[in-house]
Amino acid sequence: MANNKSSMKRIRQNKMIRLRKKYYHKSTRTAIKKFKVGKNVKYSTIVSMLDKLSKKNIIHKNKAARLKSKLAKMMAHSSIG
């Protein structure tokens, strides 16, 4: 357990940062699922969300590129988007 004020503060900060990152990641995954089903979500919005996640190091940049490529392929081969 933490022994001094600075380590206690760091624990509190890490908790809030973890929750914030979890929220961003979960909202992006939800948007991707809605996009796949055909709900009212634009491809450009999802690309923007993925770019932000990779920029903030929440997901790896290659994963973001992979997801964008997969969604673009889906959009080209169907009436999604």
Per-residue pLDDT band for 68 (boundaries 50, 70, 90) equals very high
Query: pTM for the whole thing?
Result: 0.81
Model pLDDT, residue 79: 61
Residue 3 half-sphere exposure toward CB, CA atoms < 13 A = 0
Model pLDDT, residue 69: 96
Model pLDDT, residue 80: 58
- Three-class SS state of 33: helix
The CATH number for 20's domain is 1.20.58.110
The residue segments making up the domain with residue 72 are: 5-77
Query: What does each C-alpha distance from 7 to 16, 27, 58, 60 come to in angstroms?
Result: 14, 30, 23, 28
80, 36 contact by CB (below 8 A): yes
